[in-house]
Structure 1
């Protein structure tokens, strides 16, 4: 199902409707027809390794999953449940705002594909 693109206010309202997304503090920064940028402020509660202050991998996976979902939604398409999720961890996410860019790879009638990249405040991960 395809409809009009969501503007940033509509996208933020959709994000804020989900308690988990509110808890993460997600903010919609920019969007266009096939790309979305979200930011998540650092939260002490996501730390899984106190020695190096790194975020739990499940939180990073959740950011990737939901950014793909909202990239599809922002483009005017109604995403369904995630059929497959793959995450490649290149280095730990450490304190600072995390930026997640989601991009639509393929729009299909029954299956769509999106990818997402997570970056720290220095533009690396």
Structure 2
């Protein structure tokens, strides 16, 4: 019994390492954004990235482009959706879970911009609202390095 539990823990750790690598290293756009995964907790994953000149939308104010904010919130919501699927498939082979990952896509994304994207570093956090067999819904928040909430989002993802 202990051996089976040890194998399950090792498989989950392997899967989480693959997820981290996928989101940080293997997705070219995420690399451009400079995204780093801080937490892969299924109820509250967190991503961060640093401000860089390439991400500026308003050069006079030196603030993030709204598209960067939207993109990072979408990546965060996608991570929430995938972690929800991973929880539903707990105990299944890693390959089966990863196959589902390849099918996740954004259905709808709403972003509310609350403050200018001013800061040196940003944190995005996601929360699952519902993970069904076909659709997952997530809530996302983005903060600057002064812990000011700069944007929130809600998104639906296909997960079947």
Q: TM-score, normalised by structure 2?
A: 0.70
Report which of the two has the higher share of strand: 2
- The aligned counterpart of 1:82 is 106
Report which of the two has the higher share of helix: 2
- The aligned counterpart of 1:31 is 40
The structure number with the bigger radius of gyration is: 2
Question: Superposition RMSD on alpha carbons, in Å?
Answer: 1.9
Q: Is the 8 A contact 1:11 1:28 kept in 2?
A: no
- The aligned counterpart of 1:40 is 49
Counterpart CA distance in 1 for 2:49 and 2:41 is 19
Alignment match of 1:109 (pick from 130, 133, 136)? 133
Please list every run of 5 or more consecutive structure 1 residues that lacks an aligned counterpart in the other structure: none
Q: Whose relative contact order is higher, 1 or 2, with alpha carbons under 8 Å and at least 6 apart?
A: 1
Moved over 6 A (4+): none
Q: TM-score, normalised by structure 1?
A: 0.88
Q: How many residues align?
A: 122
Please list every run of 5 or more consecutive structure 2 residues that lacks an aligned counterpart in the other structure: 1-11, 88-99, 151-160
